[in-house]
Amino acid sequence: MERDEESSGPMMEVCTNGGGEETSNRRPIISGEPLDIEAYATLYKGRTKIMRLLFIASHCGGNQTMQLEALRMAYDEIKKGENTQLFRDVVNRINGRLGDKYNMDSAWCESVDRRAEQKKGRLENELSSYRTNLIKESIRMGHNDFGDFYYACGLLNEAFKNYVRTRDYCTTAKHIIHMCMNAILVSIEMGQFTHVSSYVNKAEQNHETLDPIVAAKLRCASGLAHLELKKYKLAARKFLDVSPELGNSYNEVIAPQDVATYGGLCALASFDRSELKAFIPLRFFSLVAKVIDNINFRDFLELVPEVRELINDFYSSRYASCLEYLGSLRANLLLDIHLHDHVDTLYDQIRKKALIQYTLPFVSVDLSRMADAFKTSVSGLEKELEALITDNQIQARIDSHNKILYARHADQRNATFQKVLQMGNEFDRDVRSMMLRANLLKHEYHARAGRNH
Amino acid sequence: GLCSSEISKTIGGMSSTENLITSIQGLSASSGDLSALHRILKGAEETLRADSDLELSTLEELDASKHSLGYLYLLDVLTCGPMSNEKALDVVLLISRFISSCDAEQIRIASDKSTASAKRTTTVLIDAAAAADAETCGNQTNRTIISWGDDDECYCFGLVVVSLCKRFKDRVLELEDPLRGVAPLLSAVRKVQVSSKRLTALHPDCLQLCLLAKCYKAGFSILSDDILEVDQPRDFYLYCYYGGMICIGQKKFQKALELLYNVVTAPMHSVNAIALEAYKKYILVTLIHSGQFSVSLPKCASTAAQRHLKTWSLPYTEVGNCYNEGKISELQAVVVAHSSDFEKDNNLGLVKQAVSSLYKRNILRLTQKYLTLSLQDIANMVQLANAKEAEMHVLQMIQDGQIHALINQKDGMVRFLEDPEQYKTSEMIEVMDSVIQRTIGLSKNLIAMDESLSCDPLYLGKVGRERQRYDFGEDFDTVPQKFSM
């Protein structure tokens, strides 16, 4: 796939404000166009690059070219490392479709395994000698090296155990943070996000102030953990707090585009209007004099202009356009390893929020106009609104005859009287039942006592 | 039930009966005389029973209202034991007259030892086919024997008149004429009751007869008392169970729910049959009245109930869960699948009422979401056959006051209205005032109960014993030291 021709289109501006040497990373990767796999892959390094490529290969549906492209790149990347298990996997999946260069290379496998054995032996010797010498720092580094070694081989459980073992030999705050970052990395790869949260907490508990980049990394990790656990609001808050100094420094886990995308979508799905406003870029509101936007996040949003546009559309009530952007982004978002399971839920929540927000300012709403705005039929819209009314998210009622939605404001006074009467009756019933039960217990007690005498 | 009495030494003398009659006639005036009379009667009990010459005609020498105490004892002796149907008729008549004319003060004096034994399985608990059943399915009254599970025998002092009335009830049932017994037992309950807050052993019997005779209004009049004190759990369970059935018959589902709730949540160590049957009906009435079902019992129910009631009533919980989903056709399928179980429990009519209440519940939900809706749409959403049926249902609900709506027949549209109650009328103020008064009264009762409990030596003893385990050195003693062990 040729990079340069692909990306030109009216919706995508290449933003070049600052950081000229990083232009390649500032191109919109997450967009409505079919994913440019090479460009996507350059955003990451290390194991996550491989895992993401494999994920794309298994989730791109029937698209053979995309699948083979992803597998090819995965193969190349794996061969640069030391993980023979992954190598075998990818060769199976390629299944000879990419020609001779991308077949099983048993020689390579054997040599890598042999080297691994040797390295393991050496590390074990070193570690046992450090142990006998009881030098804390060396033992820590020994375990750390083991952790790195197992991680490279793909034995994540062992890697995790070794990293965690360094805890007992950490002497400075830096050591602890180092251990936490490693534990977090392995936990993310293993998909165990509860560990991620606990190690983020451990790292943040440090009394010394953290290096800003490390702090940003921790927030990303925390955000990811919340995302996986479906706590979208918390995830959004964490992502929004990530300082732009992060840049590419955490691309063994996450790219800055991802921060923008995840943060933006989670915020849309879970924030209310005032919270949302807090991070919309200033220049889209000429009327607003005060600076209340989040300068940090603006930089991130520049990386994913479509996400930025759709957030703006949502805030300005241009729902049709917003939903259109969402629709076009969907295919690519489904290829993202972390977002895949959440796309549908987030989209559903965003749509619901849009519906609710649309009806909020009005006393009555013409359903056919609303159906046009949301690109759906009147009967479909009626069903959606019915569900929202049942969930008490919209206070309104539908005039099905004339196809109008009328806002329904509860009469507080009547509602209060009703509630009071109801509570009076409930109190009555509950107290009488209680007294009867107390009586029965007393009787049983007396009967027992009577028998015992 | 049979009243067993202990054998004591017999007193000889044939004219003792005549002596007794004279004593009764003479000593029935003042309370001092009455206690003397009571002692004489108790002593003479054995002789009376042995006296084979004693006949119903002897009673003619006494006046039921003036000589109630003596009359009672003689009646008691005369009527225990088997008798022919003819004699039973006479006896029934005699007892009815006695009950209506007797003096309540006198009959409350007479008490003797009776065993409230569980082994009384000869007592038939008749599930008198809830009124709904009889009306919708034309069922005949069935008798099912449910045995009382508790094995303990305990002695308690019961009123002679109570055992007399129970015997009376049995006779009436043997004669298959429950209606005869309704009025007498109603007045018996009123006379035996010391206070309208206390349950007597006669309440359940009276309700049972009302059920069998289908005199629901009469039964309902007893239920309107606020019972707060209870002696025998079994009487209470039966009272609530039968009471619930009467309320169902009167379609007063709120009260039925209260009564059945009391049985289901009553403290018990092991599940008994009455609670189980009550639970089944409770589920169905909850569906009819509040339109939803939750499998978990209220927290105040005993652990035994929470664990076991569900396992014995699976068809009902299935109906409940299916009801929550709201689909008529599925609910009907479930009902058909378990119809033999429902029939066995005589609950089929109630189940059918629950099913038809699903339509109502679904229509009610529509009023929350729609301002106007066509009858055809209603029919489609609620799974009714056509717009005509929808119209019938909506009309019925408007008449019952469950919804406020206007039907426009010209375009087949229903317009749902808000509740017009503005809470501004004097009637409403009276309602609120009465609720306030009731609440104040209940609070007073509660405080009184708390105070009496704090003085109860048994309770204090128990707290004192348990306090040892939790001795954290409190600042002040809630229980005096003398109660610690």
Tell me if chain B has a CB within 8 Å of the CB of A431.
yes
Q: Which amino acid type is present at position A211? A: D
- A439·B369 Cβ contact <8 A: no
**Which residues numbered 379-398 in A keep a CB inside 8 Å of some CB on B?**
386, 389-390, 397-398
pLDDT at A367 (0 to 100) = 93
Q: What is the mean pLDDT of chain B?
A: 77
- A401·B449 Cβ contact <8 A: no
The pair of three-digit structure tokens given for residue A130, joined into one six-digit string:
């450090």
Q: Is the pTM of this model over 0.90?
A: no
Rounded to the nearest 10 degrees, what angle do helices A173-190 and A47-59 cross at?
20
pLDDT at B470 (0 to 100) = 57
A222 has pLDDT over 90: yes
Rounded to the nearest 10 degrees, what angle do helices B233-249 and A412-452 cross at?
150
The string of pLDDT tens digits covering residues B96-155 is: 888 888 777 777 777 665 544 332 322 323 333 333 333 333 333 333 333 333 334 444
- The span from the CA of B53 to the CA of B96, in Å, is 23
Among B12, B173, B35, smallest CA distance to B109 is for B35
Contact B341, B315 (CB under 8 A): yes
Is the sign of the CA dihedral A35, A38, A44, A48 positive or negative? Answer: positive
pLDDT at A347 (0 to 100) = 92
3-state DSSP of chain B:
CCCCCCCCCCCCCCCHHHHHHHHHHHCCCCHHHHHHHHHHHHHHHHHHHHCCCCCHHHHHHCCCCCCHHHHHHHHHHHHCCCCCHHHHHHHHHHHHHHHHHCCHHHHCCCEEEEEEECCCCCCCCCCCCCHHHHHHHCCCCCCCCCCCCCCCEEEEEEEHHHHHHHHHHHHHHHCCCHHHHHHHHHHHHHHHCCCCCECCCHHHHHHHHHHHHCCHHHHHHHHCCCCCECCCHHHHHHHHHHHHHHHHHCCCHHHHHHHHHHHHCCCCCCCCHHHHHHHHHHHHHHHHHHCCCCCCCCCCCCHHHHHHHHHHCHHHHHHHHHHHHCCHHHHHHHHHHCHHHHHHCCCHHHHHHHHHHHHHHHHHHHHHHEEEEEHHHHHHHHCCCCHHHHHHHHHHHHHCCCCCEEEECCCCEEEECCCCCCCCCHHHHHHHHHHHHHHHHHHHHHHHHHHHHHCCHHHHHHHHHHHHHHCCCCCCCCCCHHHCC
Tell me if chain B has a CB within 8 Å of the CB of A423.
no
- A421·B154 Cβ contact <8 A: no
- The span from the CA of B67 to the CA of A156, in Å, is 97
- The span from the CA of B108 to the CA of B98, in Å, is 14
Is the sign of the CA dihedral A333, A336, A339, A342 positive or negative? Answer: positive
Closest chain A residue by Cα to residue B155: A451
Q: In what order do the strands lie in the sheet with B405-408?
A: A364-366, A404-407, A396-399, B370-374, B413-416, B405-408
For residue B247, the chain A residues in CB contact (below 8 A) are none
Among A158, A154, A160, A156, smallest CA distance to A89 is for A154
User: A286: pLDDT confidence band, cut at 50, 70 and 90?
Assistant: very low
The residue-averaged pLDDT of B287-311 equals 86
For residue B449, the chain A residues in CB contact (below 8 A) are 435, 438
A27 has pLDDT over 50: no
Residue where the block lists tokens 């009564």: B259
Strands B413-416 and B405-408: antiparallel
The residue-averaged pLDDT of B401-405 equals 88
Nearest chain B Cα distance for residue A362, angstroms: 16
Nearest chain A Cα distance for residue B361, angstroms: 14
- A397·B231 Cβ contact <8 A: no
Nearest chain B Cα distance for residue A104, angstroms: 56
- A444·B370 Cβ contact <8 A: no
pLDDT at A225 (0 to 100) = 94
The residue-averaged pLDDT of A406-431 equals 88
For residue B436, the chain A residues in CB contact (below 8 A) are 424
- The span from the CA of B457 to the CA of B464, in Å, is 10
- B432·A445 Cβ contact <8 A: no
The size of the A-B interface in CB pairs under 8 A is 112
The pair of three-digit structure tokens given for residue A126, joined into one six-digit string:
């070193």
The string of pLDDT tens digits covering residues A76-131 is: 889 888 888 888 888 888 888 888 788 888 888 899 999 999 999 999 999 899 88
Nearest chain B Cα distance for residue A343, angstroms: 28
Residues 6+ apart with CB under 8 A from A453: none
User: A405: pLDDT confidence band, cut at 50, 70 and 90?
Assistant: very high
The residue-averaged pLDDT of B349-355 equals 90
- A439·B446 Cβ contact <8 A: no
Q: Which amino acid type is present at position A292? A: I
pLDDT at B99 (0 to 100) = 81
Nearest to A440 among B233, B428, B446 (CB): B233
Closest chain A residue by Cα to residue B233: A440
Helix (H, G, I), strand (E, B) or coil at A366: strand
pLDDT at A119 (0 to 100) = 92
For residue A435, the chain B residues in CB contact (below 8 A) are 228, 445-446, 449
Sort B390 into a burial class: Cβ within 10 Å, 0-12 / 13-18 / 19+: buried
- The span from the CA of A414 to the CA of A386, in Å, is 24
Q: How far is CA A30 from CA A24, A36, A325, in A?
A: 13, 9, 12
Nearest chain B Cα distance for residue A432, angstroms: 7
Least confident span in A271-285, B113-127, B397-411: B113-127
* Angle in degrees, CA B279, B284, B290, rounded to 5: 110
- The span from the CA of B146 to the CA of B127, in Å, is 9
A227 has pLDDT over 90: yes
Closest chain A residue by Cα to residue B415: A399
Tell me if chain B has a CB within 8 Å of the CB of A401.
yes
The string of pLDDT tens digits covering residues A186-213 is: 999 998 999 999 999 988 887 677 788 8
B260 has pLDDT over 90: yes
- A450·B154 Cβ contact <8 A: yes
The string of pLDDT tens digits covering residues B30-80 is: 777 777 777 777 777 777 777 766 677 777 777 777 777 777 777 777 777
- The dihedrals phi and psi of B141, each to the nearest 5 degrees, come to -70, 125
- A436·B449 Cβ contact <8 A: no
- A401·B372 Cβ contact <8 A: yes
Is the sign of the CA dihedral A359, A362, A367, A372 positive or negative? Answer: negative
Among B185, B121, B112, smallest CA distance to B151 is for B121
The residue-averaged pLDDT of B387-394 equals 89
For residue B232, the chain A residues in CB contact (below 8 A) are 443
DSSP A66: H
Helix (H, G, I), strand (E, B) or coil at A398: strand
Q: What is the mean pLDDT of chain A?
A: 82
CA B397 to chain CA centroid, Å, is 30
User: B478: pLDDT confidence band, cut at 50, 70 and 90?
Assistant: low
Strand partners, B229: B198
- A397·B369 Cβ contact <8 A: yes
Strand partners, B408: B413
Q: Which of A412, A423, A437 to mutate to test the interface with B (most CBs of B within 10 A)?
A: A437
A184 has pLDDT over 90: yes
Q: Which amino acid type is present at position A161? A: K
Nearest to A427 among B154, B365, B439 (CB): B439
- The span from the CA of B242 to the CA of B92, in Å, is 23
The residue-averaged pLDDT of A347-360 equals 91
Helix (H, G, I), strand (E, B) or coil at A170: coil
Nearest to A444 among B227, B261, B267 (CB): B267
Residues 6+ apart with CB under 8 A from B397: B360, B363, B364, B403, B405
- B265·A417 Cβ contact <8 A: no
- The span from the CA of A196 to the CA of A194, in Å, is 5
Q: How far is CA B25 from CA A25, A40, B11, in A?
A: 117, 113, 21
Strand partners, A406: A364, A397
pLDDT at A82 (0 to 100) = 87
CA B245 to chain CA centroid, Å, is 8
Q: How far is CA B308 from CA B253, B296, B462, in A?
A: 25, 12, 29
- A399·B230 Cβ contact <8 A: no
